[in-house]
Amino acid sequence: MIFLDFVEKTLAAKTEIQLFSVYKSALKEAGYDRVIFSLMNDHNDLDLKAGHGIMQNYPDDWMKHYVAKGYEKHDPVRCFIFSENGPFLWDTIPEVVRLSKQQQQCLDGGVEAGLHNGAAVSLRGPNGNVAAVGAASSHKDRLDPTSLWVLNAYSQQFYAMYTSLLARPDRIKERLYLTDREREILTWCANGKSSWDTAMILGITEDGVNFHLKNIFRKLGTQNRMGAIVKALHKGLINL
C-alpha cells in the first residue's frame, strides 16, 4: 500500500475499529501481520485510561500466558518505550540494558509463541501522552531493514488519526500544556533539585527558573512545587 493511499484511507475511517483495520492491512503488506496497540499512560485530554493491548491481533494463547505470568509490569519492550521516541527492534534491547530473568523469559516467550521480527514504536502525543505499537511476523524470514521505518510511518499516522477520532468536543477535558522548558524545569524539581541547582544545570538564571515555575503553577492551578509535580505526573505532563 502506497503511504498516501494509507493516509487517505485513515482519513476516511469513521471509527477506531475501521481505522485499526486499515492499519493492520497496511502493516501486513509491510511484513508485520501481528500488531498490538497500547496506551502507556492515561490520555486525560481524551478521557482515556492507560491500557495494554486495547486493540490487537496477537495469538490468543500468548496473550493469556502474558497475563497469567504478569508480564505487563516486566515486559522490556513496554519499559523501553518510555526511553525511546520512535521505532526499535525487540532484539536490540538486551544490547542496551541488562534484562532480568523474567524480562528475558518474556522476550523469548514471544518468539516461541510465533512473534518473529519483533519491533515497536514509541508514540508521543500532546500533554505528555504516550502510546505504543508492538508488531511482529508470524513467519521467521527476516524482513527488509526498511520495514522498521515503514512501520514507524504507518504507526505515527495511525496514532494521529486515532486521537483525532476521539477528540470530540463532548470528550475533551481541559487541555493542559507545558512548554519544553517548563517540563524540563519541573522534571528537575521532581528530582529534588532547587531553583539554583536547576539554573546551573540548564545554564539560565535562578530568577528565570522561578519565573517559569510561577507560570507552571498558574497553568496547573497549584500553589507550590509539590502540588505542581503531583498534578503534572498525574496528567502525564512529565515522567520521572
Helices (H), 13-146: 16-29, 60-68, 76-81, 93-96, 101-112
State the average pLDDT for the chain: 90
Q: What is the mean pLDDT of residues 141-150?
A: 92
Query: Which pTM does this prediction carry?
Result: 0.71
Are 46 and 166 in contact by the 8 Å Cβ rule? The answer is yes
pLDDT score, position 172: 45
What is the fold of 180-234?
A: Arc Repressor Mutant, subunit A (1.10.10)
Q: Tell me which CATH code domain 3-166 carries.
A: 3.30.450.80
Give the model's pLDDT for residue 222: 87
Neighbours of 107 (CB within 10 A): 20
- The string of pLDDT tens digits covering residues 39-62 is 999 998 888 889 999 999 999 999
Question: Residue 36, SS3?
Answer: strand
pLDDT tens, residue by residue, 93-126:
999 889 999 999 999 999 999 999 999 999 998 8
Residue 1 has a pLDDT of 62
Q: Which residues contact 172 (CB under 8 A, 6 or more apart)?
A: 45, 46, 47
Residue 168 has pLDDT above 80, yes or no: no
How many degrees, rounded to 5, is the angle at CA 159 between CA 158 and CA 165?
Answer: 90
Q: Where in the chain is the domain with CATH 3.30.450.80?
A: 3-166
Span(s) in the chain for CATH 1.10.10.10 = 180-234
